[in-house]
Amino acid sequence: MKYDTQMRLASNLKRLRVSYGFSQANLAERLQIDRSLYALYESGKRCPDPELLYDVACIFGIRMEMLLESDPEIIASQADCFNPCSEEDLRLLSIYRRLSPFSKGALLERAEYLELSDRMRTEQRKALRTCKQSK
C-alpha cells in the first residue's frame, strides 16, 4: 500500500474511533486484537488486513472503501447510512475466521442451504396467505 494511502487509512481509523467514543482498548477488544497492534494501525506503522478492515467497517456502519476516503465529512455522512454489524454478526465472523479451509467451505454450503430453505418457507407462507385470501 502506498504511504499516503496508509496514512489516510490510519487517520480515518483514529477519526472514526474518536467520533464514536471508543478507546483504542475498546475497539481492539471488539476486533479481538491486542491494543498495541491497533495502535500501530492508527499510527500508520502497520496496515490491517482486509478482514480486519471489514470488521472495522461493520463496527462503524460504513462501506470498506470509506476507510480510504480523503474527505472526513464524507466518512461522517456515510456512517449513519449503513447498519453496523451486530454483536452476533461479529461473533459469527470471529468463529468463521478460526475454522479450517475445509470447515469454512462446509459452513458456506450449509449457510446457502439454510438461506434457500428460509426463502422456500417464506414463499410457502405467502402462497398459503394468498390461497386463504382468495377463498
Q: Is the pLDDT of residue 18 over 90?
A: no
Q: Do 54 and 84 form a contact (C-beta atoms < 8 A)?
A: no
Name the pTM for this structure: 0.58
Share of the chain above pLDDT 70, in %: 92
116-119-120-124 Cα dihedral, nearest 10 degrees: 170
Structure confidence by residue, pLDDT tens digits, 42-98: 999 999 999 999 999 988 888 899 999 988 778 767 665 544 567 787 788 788 888
DSSP character at residue 85? P
Per-residue pLDDT, 92: 84
Per-residue pLDDT, 79: 60
Cα separation, 57 vs 82, whole angstroms: 10
Cα separation, 116 vs 128, whole angstroms: 18
